[in-house]
Amino acid sequence: MIMTVARDPTMQPVVIYVDECEQFFSSSKKDKDGPSRFKKDLLTYKNNALNSSHRVILIGSTNRPENGDIKDFRNFFDKFLYFPYPDYSSRLILWKQYISQQIREGVMASEKMFSGLW
């Protein structure tokens, strides 16, 4: 159904987002009831239903790429981007900014709430 909607020219451009895509492309044969049972169908629909004239982009994300089969990832997706976790100093800066923003928003909300009482 997704590919049918994606092929419709009135619905294009279409972005299909697959979160935790390693579950679809897992290398283990144990899980017959999980998402990996759709791997063959996904590859078939992508290769046969979509072509270069369709304005469809498939985006997959995972935080555990080692759990998926690299060969299947390469067959399905055209490009790969790797975003590593931030290092300690970057995390420290992010947390300081986030905490100060939350404090500012909390102070502004309390001032707004108590300004109507006086």
Domain coverage including residue 101 = 86-118
pLDDT means per 10 residues in the chain (118 residues)? 78 85 74 67 74 81 82 82 88 95 88 69
Residues 96 and 77 in one domain: no
- 108 vs 111: CA distance, rounded Å: 5
Residues 99 and 66 in one domain: no
pLDDT of residue 10: 84
Residues 16 and 69 in one domain: yes
Residues 70 and 108 in one domain: no
Residues 77 and 109 in one domain: no
Residues 53 and 108 in one domain: no
pLDDT of residue 95: 95
Instruction: Classify residue 46 as left (phi > 0), alpha (psi -120 to 50) or beta.
Output: alpha
Count: domains in the chain: 2
pTM for this prediction: 0.59
pLDDT of residue 29: 63
